[in-house]
Chain A
């Protein structure tokens, strides 16, 4: 028996020709990813909007801690004291994630050091560096984090980055847990260019996975630079003027909850500035945002600071929409530019009395004055007539023309503007027509009828309650019906008509660029580390609106501020040096349950081309919610911007009062010190 065992032992250890090989040798290699610094985002002059800086980060090596008798509890307790957190919290953060380990946990390789604090205060760094023996396995490392040299400037456009999630890795296998990924705005849109290529640090691991040495290191390659068409100075002016106006309007007793400004180059489709109020500090997102902070940024009570109202907001454009209404009515010969039409103080449409703003009565006027004084009733009659014409076409079995709706669509209403931002961050705007009305009624009839039955017991205001209940009752039975009043509402940019400030800027650009509807852009070029342009980003012309140059010339002339008090938008600009060089249209949109939205769409400095068509270098659109009339709030707000552009108090911001047309020279990147 024992001989058998010995013989077998002899065979296994010495004779066996097919001895199994021990493959798990003393060490094997592991890779620690060294994240690449993200590329910069710069403005049209090459000034950084997002830069990188080196900060001190505190990292903890869990595998080194685990080898200590107390599993590093003492070290973590001491470290937690410095970082004002708890030992348990730190222990959780450095434990590798697994199905049994819920967040917070470390998503990196088990042997890679885990960052427990970025941008650590100098006092903490010193405390750790001076007492190295008290903090084994704790290291102070230099890492690059984004910085915002201009604070919150253009925060909505730049967006923010976040840690890589499981879903991200599914869509892009090259992503690593140590990376940051653009999560919104330009950071998301141009993430592939900005992210760069991660480096690797090879480490030798023993069979238990503990680091025993380091090997070759591949340096990370910083991401490319994104040059934008944003001009930091114009952006700054737009934001400060917006904030100033919010303050002034509030002082005047208006809620003035929020607002937006867009500055667009109508000839190239490039966005020069885009401001939204309230705004936020993008540094909050560095290294991950807390739940509390994120809730504050998305809290409606705080004005949803994260929402970019200039591009992702949707508001009734009010009278600024009359550009589109006039284009439609004249193009389809429903009115003429030489005709005189009534402008009564009120008009009954479809059995409902609709009034002018403050029931102003102007008598019979032409289109020029209807636009200049912004008469609403002027537009009611032809658009109501259009409605009835379509109804008789329907009765005859023909499709309705719905000229106004088709023209609105040509100007880009109801379709995302196609700006180079993530799809979820640009709104399409909307308008009502027979088809959408019917579809919506079919989908919502049950809830309308239920609301009508229930009333609105939770609405305190009795008048509101009665109105809402009546509205629900009407929607329940007749919600499918598109009425003459709806068409009249649309003609003055009310009812279900909404646009974002950017969409309105794109529409007004068509007025002064020969009818081109741009898909506007923020990005201008991607420049690599050598300063060479990798690619240029050019806005596309989506379509040309079917409006004659003659009509556009007529409308632009009608709204030129040189006409003084005959143009409502000119009020704030009368007496300025550049009064004769700009034009604009006000809007005062009524919103149920709220005060009016104040709009102003302007263009300038104007010039005439050979054919006498009006040209402009900039289109500037401003909007403030719940701030009163266009002339009273948006007017002074945009005046400060125009003052800057024209150099009313010194030199013009942009030399020659025109947008920058040549790409800035981007210096080759200096290698960013890392780790």
Chain B
């Protein structure tokens, strides 16, 4: 039995008074938070190294990207702390709101978005502040699906497999933002979204008929998309240059080639901070965002790059641990978030290493960028919330 501090149907408040008292004693998952913070701080140093010389050359403050990255970390930490205090009931209330708000953001992008690097994915709030709704959509979809699949089990911990209707609704939840992001077009974000959603489907005990079926449909759709030409030219060029790096060394493959040179020259220990010629020379485009890993590879070598990989592995392990101990809704959220981080970090580091095709996804926590940092902060916060309310 649980003791309830206050009438459960009381008007909602952000204070965690609705949380079962017995579970309030559990604290935060400190190793998880520390890992995320470590990645973000490593990111701050790498972003600084990547932008310092170009800023100097442009006569701007060489520390300006560093400062902005640090400010992003502070905001993300605050968001994490706020999210960590949510409970299932509030989630249920907020779930649809988060989902719908993100969706509204995606629609707004279509109408009034800004194009950066070929993708029409940003909303310009002011001269220097731009939001990328697709980053929040990842979180919104995970929360939305989690709430959908557990709506019948309510606050109870017992698992109830989703009905066919739930699954169809769930697929609908995925399809709409997936389509909107594909239209931008931002293939990388769409794939991360699909991957996270797929993780939630599996974790929700949806029948293999559905999951395997969806997987096959997805592969078929991808093949057809390439054949029919739904993908933008630049996306196909990236795939072509992935299969053959010499395909267009000055164009689509340039980034990969330059990042490869940078990482390969890092060796075991790297060239040392601020000493990477490839980084200082500004040869790797988008180095502070999607190719930030190449800075680590060049200036900190195998040790630095390996540390980042290890930190992601640890982060995912902590997330799965939380999922294992959580109630149903918590498990769905945790699995979704872990899938998101795992796939996105694999995809990003993979493309830096020439393992996967180039798709514009940032390295979680490490890459420079406010929207992704904030969404990831909220995600860590949600993991904390799940952790705090799961049974010991």
Contacts and interface: CB of A to CB of B under 8 A. Distances in A.
Q: Give the most central of A2, A6, A21, A69: most B CB within 10 Å.
A: A2
B266 A13 contact: yes
B312 A24 contact: no
A22 interface: yes
Given A12-B264, A14-B302, A6 B353 contact: no
A398 interface: no
A461 interface: no
Given A4-B355, A22-B277, A10 B265 contact: no
Contact of B305 (A9, A16, A21, A208): A9
A292 B283 CA distance: 47
Given A5-B309, A5-B346, A69-B59, A13 B264 contact: yes
Interface residues of B, number: 38
Given A5-B353, A9-B263, A207-B282, A24 B277 contact: yes
A71 B56 CA distance: 11
Nearest to B283: A24
Nearest to B261: A20
Given A26-B277, A66-B57, A6 B309 contact: yes
B281 interface: yes
B384 interface: no
Contact of B281 (A13, A14, A69, A208): A208
A25 B278 CA distance: 8
A22 B278 contact: yes
A210 interface: yes
Given A2-B309, A2-B312, A8 B355 contact: yes
Interface string A198-223: 00000000011010000000000000
B283 A2 contact: no
A459 B276 CA distance: 79
B260 interface: yes
B313 interface: yes
Contact of A12 (B58, B316, B354): B354
B232 interface: no
B363 to A, nearest CB: 11
B196 to A, nearest CB: 15
A22 B263 contact: no
A1 B277 contact: no
Given A12-B353, A12-B354, A207-B282, A20 B264 contact: yes
A6 B56 contact: no
A131 interface: no
A596 B312 CA distance: 100
B190 to A, nearest CB: 20
Chain A interface size band reads 20 to 34
B290 interface: no
B355 A5 contact: yes
Given A12-B264, A13-B301, A2 B313 contact: yes
Contacts of B82: none
A28 to B, nearest CB: 11
A479 to B, nearest CB: 65
Contacts of A26: 277
Given A4-B355, A20-B261, A14 B267 contact: yes
B261 A208 contact: no
Interface string A1-40: 1101110111011101001111011100000000000000
A67 B313 contact: no
Interface string B84-121: 00000000000000000000000000000000000000
Contacts of B302: 9-10, 13-14
A67 B56 contact: yes
Contacts of B305: 9, 13
A5 B316 CA distance: 14
A24 B281 contact: yes
B350 interface: yes
A6 B283 CA distance: 24
A665 interface: no
Contacts of B283: 24, 207
Given A1-B342, A2-B309, A14 B277 contact: no
B306 interface: yes
Given A10-B302, A66-B59, A207-B280, A20 B260 contact: yes
19 contacts: A2-B309, A2-B313, A5-B349, A5-B350, A6-B306, A9-B263, A9-B302, A9-B309, A10-B306, A12-B353, A19-B264, A20-B264, A20-B265, A21-B261, A26-B277, A67-B56, A67-B59, A207-B280, A208-B282
Interface of A: 1-2, 4-6, 8-10, 12-14, 16, 19-22, 24-26, 66-71, 207-208, 210
Interface of B: 53, 56-59, 257, 260-268, 277-278, 280-283, 297, 301-302, 305-306, 309-310, 312-313, 316, 342, 346, 349-350, 353-355
